[in-house]
């Protein structure tokens, strides 16, 4: 059975001028797209099946990521239903020279595992066997219980 830490993924995108708005910062839609793509990959790693986005929880953008900086997205599955996978996502702006990061937004997406015909399929149970698994899952559950 897959563990929470098996589903942990992190990716970086350098914010280019074509990703930016007229203020020289990344469009929120680009951040959301990157979160959705990485979240789907995390869900697929968990489910072992293609996964599609079913819902997106609240997304508040707390600070911009300027052109030239890096958008860092991390994703991990923290809960599962019969056919659904809940993935916690965090986006941060990162200075590529220093590695300093500042959280931009967090959210939780729900993905549904599907077969080749697009019908929902059952997903396995998600396990939390290690301290790292429990730490990640607790972080997702704390965020969900906070005012976000």
DSSP per residue, 26-76: B-HHHHHHHHHHHHHHHHHHHHSS-EEEEEE------S--BTTSEEEEEEE
Whole-angstrom distance, CA of residue 71 vs CA of residue 38 = 12
pLDDT at 147: 55
Question: CATH second-level architecture of 5-145?
Answer: Roll (3.10)
| Each residue's pLDDT tens digit, 72-102 | 999 999 999 999 999 999 999 999 999 999 9
Whole-angstrom distance, CA of residue 38 vs CA of residue 91 = 11
Q: What does pTM read for this prediction?
A: 0.93
Domain residue spans of the chain: 5-145
pLDDT at 16: 97
């Amino acid at each position: 059975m897959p563990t929470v830490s098996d589903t942990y993924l992190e990716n970086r995108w350098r914010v280019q001028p074509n990703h930016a708005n007229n203020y020289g910062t990344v469009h929120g839609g680009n951040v959301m797209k990157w979160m959705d793509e990485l979240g789907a990959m995390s869900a697929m790693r968990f489910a072992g099946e293609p996964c599609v986005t079913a819902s997106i929880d609240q997304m508040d953008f707390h600070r911009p990521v300027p052109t030239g900086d890096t958008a860092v997205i991390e994703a991990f599955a923290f809960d599962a239903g019969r056919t659904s996978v809940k993935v916690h996502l965090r986006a941060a702006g990162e200075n590529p020279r220093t590695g300093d990061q500042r959280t931009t937004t967090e959210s939780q997406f729900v993905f549904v595992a599907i077969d080749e015909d697009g019908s929902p399929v059952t997903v396995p149970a998600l396990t939390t066997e290690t301290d790292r698994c429990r730490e990640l899952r607790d972080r997702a559950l704390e965020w969900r219980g906070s005012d976000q």
